[in-house]
Structure 1
Amino acid sequence: MRTKKLSPLVFLPFVISSYLLSDTKINGRVISTKSNKPIQNVNIYVKNQKRGTTSDASGNFELLLEEDSSYSIEFSHIAYENTLIKTVPGNLIDVKMKEVFLMLDDVIVSSMKCEYALSNVPVYSEVIGKSKIVEAGSVSIAEVLEQQLGISKAYDAHGMFDYNLMGLESKYILVMRNGKPITGKFQNMIDLDQILVSNVDKIEIIKGPGSSLHGSDAIGGVINIITAETPEDSRLSLKYRRTMFDIGTDNSRNNSSGNIASFNISKKFGKFSWGSSGQLQDLLNQSSITPLNKDEIRKLNLNTELHWVSKSEKDQFGLMLDYFGQNDIGRDLLSTGYELSSNTTDISRMSTTLTHEWILSERLRFNQSLNKSDYEREYRQTGIDDSFTINNIATESLIDFDAKLQFSLNKNNILLGFNSNSPSHRSKRLIDSSHVMQKSGIYVQNEYSQNEGLKIVYGLRAERYAEEYSFNPRLALMYIPKDNYKARFSLGKGFRAPSVQETFINFHNVDQGYIVKGNSRLRPEKSIGSSFNIEYSNEKDIRLNGLLYYNYFSDKILTEQVGDSGSSPTVFTYNNISNATYQGVELYADFVRSNSLTLKFNLNLRDEFDSEGKKLKNTIPYSTGFELSYLIRAINTRLYLNQSQSYRYATDTSFGLMDMIFNTRLSELL
């Protein structure tokens, strides 16, 4: 019997047919959440099949996948937030991605006290998003702002980060959390190292006079820290980080180290949503790297939020609790190793906020909030004799109420509001030990939209501080002459009441040999500020910004030495000078070079002088910044590089900062 052999070519069509039948196609389009324009070069990847593609110039893509019941597809682009889509075979999917680099579609509330898209807000504003905070590996708000281009950087004698906006130092900038002032100023500024980022969603920065909406302390700008909303689904996350500082000693036990642990948890119960987060930071052997020789520093931040929405979704209530605690220990040693003195500082801040939003109609809504904040700082020092003994407790309490009514009428969007707060201070360093101040104000604002190309905002705040009255108007407009271009102009009056420290302090530092005395005759500082901004953006991969500003101060408060410089102890006090001028230009350039590389550049030039033409001592005449973010796809690692330089006129020195961070998602490498 003869057997016939079949040629392998006979089976080839069946093999090809079988292969083709085992695959399926997924088609779709990727667009921007804000503009609905296509996004090119988006990386599209199915992990379990290790197959992927990229979107074309029209945002379209096609994936050829092994047949399965469902697919999880990840969309990534360095300028957009990663998006995960679950789909089934045969679906044509449209994917919307949120921008996180140019931030054009982000929502901002601080500049207008109501929600606006960042690209459409008439007042020049900046936003630091969640992705930037995570990418930079920041622990505190101070670390976030240290890496923000356009903020000049300096540190005071106490090691606190002095955040500078448009030439104005920290005491002229109002720091808020969710629109409520943060208590606990030390040296007339909020220590941003005491505000951890455990549940921070974004940071809004408003440059220029904000007194027309936010009152006294916003004469130079606003920094508003926005916490994350409770997500719809239940979540639990735990994080731990350990940091080692090599200070060049032979004994590794003396090297500084840090431990950071954090958690986030959220849950929905019908119409209720609850979320809680916390962060613990332990720093050991810090005396060689901190300005005040602190050996041990411990910080704890806890946040809890509870929200309820009515069945009609027209009423929303919220309860927010926030706690911060810090303990640090320092020692001064002689060259022999003998302890000369030791000190401890305990700091606590507790804040409780109640909020209510009532949506009466699409055109009318009412918001109100009540905040109670308490701050305490206790400093204790002991030494080889009683001359070193110090025990001082400083407390600050604040009750703040804010109510606003927002309604739309034809081409007008009108805001009416009332604000009242009552800060109280108690400290042995103050004359009469304790002081209570009353502040209240009413404000009105209207945004008139002539058309899509022109918006005009005008408003006024009338404020009472003790026996003083202040009226602070503001005018702002945004003009869009043609696509991709925007021009913004603002003009406003600012007002800052003298602080408790400037008015009532009476402190003698025996160790350092100086005395600080307050001045009860200080007058409030007033300013007239203007800014002009031109912005170009193709809403895709380029944004260019130029900002010109001019600020004229009257009755500016400065620290001055009393008597001869050779006298002991040296005595300092606060006085009003006749006037001061701040002017400058800020230039920004943001580029998306590819789906793996983004670049940012910044240059700031400033001139600040008093009525006699003399430079102000805290002047930072120029500062520069550069930022690079690069995704190394071969090892799924993101490189983040940030470099900045600030020059200080008073000391003829410059302060430089460079951070290089590598972030790797280990799960993607497995």
Structure 2
Amino acid sequence: MTAAGAAADVTEKPALLSEFCNKGCKTNANHYYSLPLSPSGPPHVFSLPSPPRRSPGRRAPALQAGLLLLPLLATTAVHAQVAEALNTIVVTGTRSEKTLDETPVPTEVVDQREIQRTQARTLKDALENVPGLQLTEIHGKSGFAVSMQGMTSDQVLVLIDGLPISASTGSSVDVSQYLLTEVDRIEVVKGASSAQYGSSAMGGVINVITRRIAPGWSAAGTADAGTYGAQNVGSPGAAHGNLRVSGGGEKWRASVAADVLDNKGFAVDPDAWTHQGDAIRREQYSGRLEWLPTPAGHFWVDASRYLETDTQQYEYFAPPSFVPQRKTEDITRDRFTYGGQWRFGNGVKARLAGVTEDYDSRSQEYSNAVPTATRAAALRTEHVSLQFDMPAWQRQLWQFGADVHRERLRQTANGVSEVAGNAERTANELFVQNDILFNDTWEMVLGLRAQDDSDFGTHYAPKIGLRANLPTGAAWKSVLRANFGQGYRVPNLKERHYLFDHSALGYVVLGNPNLKPESSNSFQFGGTATWNERLTLNANLFYNRVRDLIQTDMDNFTVVNGIARYTYRNVAQARTQGLETGARWQASSALAFNAGYTYTDSQDLDTGTELTRRPRSIARLGLDWQLQPATELSVRARYQSSELAASTSPARSPGWATLDFVLNQKIGRDVTAFLGVKNLTNRQRDFSNASDFGPVAGGFLYVGARISLDAAP
């Protein structure tokens, strides 16, 4: 039984099984999967009695029977691994539970096993191998943002258990700022999802699902350290450790976790002033309390604190010489979430969840060791979501809900406000969804969200998704999916109210209170085919048409007293289109391959030119090889083609490829040692070329160990 499954009593099985089958979901001979008590939680799994089996003929010797069964057991192991992936429960695409192969909305999943085998430490690490995702550095920050299908990072919504997380810039979420100790899995939905999640979900959604707490107790910890070799600034180049302890009984459960990542930075010339890799220390501490008064109810509170300290060292050219510059930044994010869910006797499920988050940043800039600017920012986010899922009625599953969202931005430089006007925003939203199961072949999901914004009035975002099970033979199973959705993004507080003064460097960036919201139409069409539960192929065509695209207009600026003034404008009508493909092959019980390729074509429809920072080709390749029962080798390769560096120049960033490997060695029952190399080919950008956006870090060698201890309740 899973951690979440332990929360439900097996006496619910007959009723839940009936409801589950009415929803068109499947069972197998050993388990059935019920709806979770939480849209963000993993599935409840209940064992069903296995059918009686006939014993083999009495005349067959035991050894002979065992030898005859070996090929069958190996094949069964292969089938079980692929079937497990296909039966993974996902919740993000429809805000309700579906198996991965039955969801109408294409979804990528990074599960806990993948996180552990690749030794991912941050959300950025975990997303590196998802096909089609592009990770780019946040300008002026020690972090990375994520984009997909040619849409910008501002247009991708990042959630933790279905609730928003603050953007480090007031615009894009830094996916390096979330450590993974408490993560169960990560779900990625591509294409407009505003009907489900509102503003900022134009390009897609990344939903981080945290672990639920199992009864009994468990403890797990990891320690590792690594080196950048000749580019080390400190020793070791980076060190990491985490610890999680959880436990409880049937009614009350609790967990605490801590995660620390200390990176000393790196430099092509460690003895020089300039460091290409910032020194960053990240810390994350959390605690969770759960109360399960009955099998039908589940309530929780969760509190976490994230701390970050960054140091950047670079040079600024002031003729006739280069002047040493340094910037330090201290970041604190305090996040408090709460919620509860209840299954009523009539089958209605209700869920209430909320978050209050304060993101504070204080930076200090130095020139030649002389303080030049002190900047302080405070972003507060509040979000409450209420959702009702109705019981199955006439092969329909209705869902109703409401969200209330508030955010506020404050920022000063040297004690002077850098925010013009009232940088606050409130949105009240209603959403409805109907999942219609016409028969065993056809399913359709209809959704609509009405959003009333304090500054931009009312907007409606519809969505329709269609799934069809194609006729299958003895070996093949195929599913087609088609989706249309309208995206919508309200200009963020930074874009409307920011006064970013870098006069010392010759420019300022001004917010524009007259910006209009971005909107889009998104089309997705594709399918998945599975052969003998060993080979899975998928393909998806996408087309996104964006209106009133917001960006900093580099071609239109004014000069006042020698200072260039840039501002945000609705400057473009744009489209992105392309093809996403993927394959998963379980070659044997010990060897598995994964591959993905995404082709993206983007265009500014106003000028007919290519959009910047959108590579045409992104490819991923993975191999997992069980060398011995206790030894596993994982290899991950990434490729990204060239991309246009700027709209005012034909310069392109060159394409690049990297290769990572990790060797995991099980030692006894509880300990796993690991050795890994990131960027084995040592592909690193040319830092003298401002148009080279290749990998920042070169090769990184690390070693560590993980220990996991569990006790039954």
Distance 1:541 1:664 in 2: 26
Q: 1:156 to 1:296 in 2, by over 3 A?
A: closer
Q: In the alignment, what sits opposite 1:581?
A: 575
Q: In the alignment, what sits opposite 1:440?
A: 428
AA of the residue aligned to 2:664 = N
Distance 1:353 1:548 in 2: 37
The offset of 1:187, in angstroms, is 6.5
Map 1:217-616 onto structure 2 (within 5 A): 217-247=200-230, 254=234, 257-286=237-266, 293=276, 296-311=279-294, 313-332=295-314, 340-361=324-345, 363-384=347-368, 388-407=371-390, 408-428=392-412, 430-432=418-420, 435-466=423-454, 467-483=456-472, 484-538=477-531, 540-561=533-554, 562-563=556-557, 568-611=562-605, 612-616=607-611
Q: Is the 1:352–1:372 contact (alpha carbons within 8 Å) kept by the matching residues of 2? A: yes
Identity %: 21
Q: 1:599 to 1:34 in 2, by over 3 A?
A: farther
Higher Rg of the two aligned structures: 1
Distance 1:31 1:256 in 2: 51
The offset of 1:155, in angstroms, is 3.2
Map 1:21-32 onto structure 2 (within 5 A): none
Q: Is the 1:256–1:285 contact (alpha carbons within 8 Å) kept by the matching residues of 2? A: no
Q: Is the 1:623–1:647 contact (alpha carbons within 8 Å) kept by the matching residues of 2? A: no
AA of the residue aligned to 1:524 = P
Q: In the alignment, what sits opposite 1:112?
A: 94
Is 2:643 aligned against 1:644? no
Distance 1:618 1:541 in 2: 37
The offset of 1:60, in angstroms, is 9.0
Bigger drift between 531-540 and 456-465 goes to 531-540
Distance 1:639 1:519 in 2: 48
The offset of 1:545, in angstroms, is 0.6
SS of residue in 1 equivalent to 2:166: coil
Q: 1:447 to 1:288 in 2, by over 3 A?
A: same
Q: Which has the higher contact order (CA 8 A, sep 6+)?
A: 2
SS of residue in 1 equivalent to 2:104: coil
Distance 1:625 1:331 in 2: 33
Is 2:112 aligned against 1:130? yes
Q: Is the 1:443–1:460 contact (alpha carbons within 8 Å) kept by the matching residues of 2? A: yes
Distance 1:57 1:551 in 2: 48
Distance 1:563 1:342 in 2: 28
AA of the residue aligned to 1:144 = A
- Deviation sequence 1:592-637 (CA, Å, 0-9, x none): 1111111122221111112232211232212122111112118724
Distance 2:68 2:549 in 1: 57
Bigger drift between 273-282 and 417-426 goes to 273-282
The offset of 1:230, in angstroms, is 0.7
Q: Is the 1:184–1:376 contact (alpha carbons within 8 Å) kept by the matching residues of 2? A: no
Q: 1:55 to 1:458 in 2, by over 3 A?
A: farther
- Deviation sequence 1:499-558 (CA, Å, 0-9, x none): 111111111224543211111111101111110012101362111011001111111112
Q: 1:666 to 1:569 in 2, by over 3 A?
A: farther
Of 140, 145, 162, the residue aligned with 1:162 is 145
Q: In the alignment, what sits opposite 2:622?
A: 627
Of 189, 196, 199, the residue aligned with 2:182 is 199
Distance 1:173 1:525 in 2: 13
SS of residue in 2 equivalent to 1:143: helix
Distance 2:490 2:316 in 1: 44
The offset of 1:156, in angstroms, is 4.5
Distance 1:102 1:608 in 2: 36
Q: 1:625 to 1:411 in 2, by over 3 A?
A: same
Q: 1:459 to 1:295 in 2, by over 3 A?
A: closer
Distance 1:135 1:58 in 2: 27
The offset of 1:445, in angstroms, is 0.3
May I ask how many residue pairs the two structures share in their alignment? Answer: 590
Q: In the alignment, what sits opposite 1:26?
A: none
- Deviation sequence 1:246-303 (CA, Å, 0-9, x none): 025xxx8756511111111011144101111111111224455999756632111112
SS of residue in 1 equivalent to 2:340: strand
- Deviation sequence 1:416-460 (CA, Å, 0-9, x none): 000001111111263337511001110000000011211011111
- Deviation sequence 1:56-110 (CA, Å, 0-9, x none): 565499xxxxxxxxxxxxxx95x69xxxxxxxxxxxxxxxx6x478721111111
Bigger drift between 593-602 and 453-462 goes to 593-602
Q: 1:375 to 1:634 in 2, by over 3 A?
A: closer
Q: 1:207 to 1:444 in 2, by over 3 A?
A: same
Q: TM-score, normalised by structure 2?
A: 0.77
Bigger drift between 479-488 and 256-265 goes to 256-265
Q: In the alignment, what sits opposite 2:661?
A: 660
SS of residue in 1 equivalent to 2:311: strand
Distance 1:299 1:210 in 2: 31
Q: In the alignment, what sits opposite 1:70?
A: none
- Deviation sequence 1:452-489 (CA, Å, 0-9, x none): 21101111100011242110111101001223010000
Of 170, 173, 178, the residue aligned with 2:161 is 178
Distance 1:247 1:557 in 2: 42
Q: Is the 1:154–1:646 contact (alpha carbons within 8 Å) kept by the matching residues of 2? A: no
What root-mean-square deviation, in Å, do the aligned CA atoms of Structure 1 and Structure 2 show? 3.2
Distance 2:184 2:289 in 1: 17
Q: Is the 1:367–1:403 contact (alpha carbons within 8 Å) kept by the matching residues of 2? A: yes
Q: 1:57 to 1:532 in 2, by over 3 A?
A: farther
AA of the residue aligned to 2:482 = F
Distance 1:507 1:666 in 2: 54
- Deviation sequence 1:331-356 (CA, Å, 0-9, x none): 45799x99944432111111111111
AA of the residue aligned to 1:430 = E
Q: Is the 2:338–2:355 contact (alpha carbons within 8 Å) kept by the matching residues of 1? A: yes
AA of the residue aligned to 2:657 = G
AA of the residue aligned to 2:600 = R
Distance 2:580 2:269 in 1: 32
SS of residue in 2 equivalent to 1:212: helix
Bigger drift between 278-287 and 577-586 goes to 278-287
Q: TM-score, normalised by structure 1?
A: 0.82
Q: Is the 2:558–2:565 contact (alpha carbons within 8 Å) kept by the matching residues of 1? A: no
AA of the residue aligned to 1:591 = W
Bigger drift between 423-432 and 149-158 goes to 149-158
The offset of 1:193, in angstroms, is 0.6
Q: 1:366 to 1:581 in 2, by over 3 A?
A: same
Structure 2 residues without counterparts, runs of 5 or longer: 1-27, 34-47, 52-65, 646-651, 673-713
